[in-house]
Amino acid sequence: MQGYILRTQKVKDEDLLVYVLTPKNLVKSYRFYGARHASVMSGYKIDFELNHNELFLPHLRSVLHLGFMWLLDRDKLIIWQQFMRLLYSHLKDIDELDEIYFNEVENCAQNCDKQSLKRLIIESYVRILEYEGRLHSEFECFVCDEPILDELVLARAFLPAHAHCLPKTTLNLKKIKELFDTKSTIMLEDSECDELFSTLLEGL
Ligand SMILES: [Zn+2]
């Protein structure tokens, strides 16, 4: 099986709880002496086996790290691990997952050596919001319910609001409309992507 490690949690000094995102589930597994193994780290894509155990969590075995070159880039690794943490919080209580989450993570990981990771994550997140029926592309302010006509701000989960209703860095309505329609950040400046990414860090 293959998946992405979204979170590890130390137990009893050297063992780890390991949460792995696969196409169908967020697997909660147990790894003996996991803290000693460099291949078990948040953000890594792994090939693995599960030893099912009636009394306890499945044991994570035969772990092989399927590395990406860009993981050596410290800045990208930090952004990546932030995204993994957010996904864990978002998915932790769901039993069966649609493949979109795994596929979006896979898309980001496969393209990250050539493209900005922040941009890839923002684009993935807009697709995820749309899939979950949470993409607000009608552009009404969630504070006052009035339509937004020019500048806007985006709150957590990219909820649109008027700049005068919510004190935050303003964004251009036309550009955000285009992002929501095309799921592409191509028309956005890096500074605008930084703003969107910091909003994303507030929670998915
Ligand atoms: Zn408003």
Name residues with Cβ closer than 5 Å to ligand 1, which is an ion.
Answer: 141, 143-144, 162, 165
What are the residues whose beta carbons fall under 8 Å from the beta carbon of 44, sequence distance 6 or more?
Answer: 4, 5, 65, 66, 67, 71
- Give me the chain's average pLDDT, please: 95
Class of the domain covering 1-114: mainly beta
Measured distance CA(189)–CA(184) in Å, rounded: 12
What is the pLDDT at residue 62? Answer: 93
CB 202 within 8 A of CB 156: yes
Q: Measured in angstroms, how far is the CA atom of residue 192 from the centroid of ligand 1?
A: 21
Where do the CATH 2.40.50.140 domains begin and end in the chain? 1-114
What is the pLDDT at residue 53? Answer: 82
Cα–Cα separations (whole angstroms), residue 95 to 26, 28, 92, 98? 7, 11, 8, 10
Q: Measured in angstroms, how far is the CA atom of residue 151 from the centroid of ligand 1?
A: 11
Q: Measured in angstroms, how far is the CA atom of residue 113 from the centroid of ligand 1?
A: 40
Candidates 92, 2, 7; CA nearest to 41 is: 7
Percentage of residues of the chain with pLDDT beyond 90: 91
In the chain, the DSSP E strands lie at 2-11, 15-21, 26-31, 45-51, 59-65, 151-155, 159-161, 171-172
What is the pLDDT at residue 35? Answer: 76
What is the pLDDT at residue 128? Answer: 98
- Spans of the chain below 70 pLDDT: none
Measured distance CA(153)–CA(85) in Å, rounded: 24
What is the pLDDT at residue 34? Answer: 76
Per-residue pLDDT tens digits for 18-56: 999 999 999 999 998 877 778 899 999 999 999 998 889
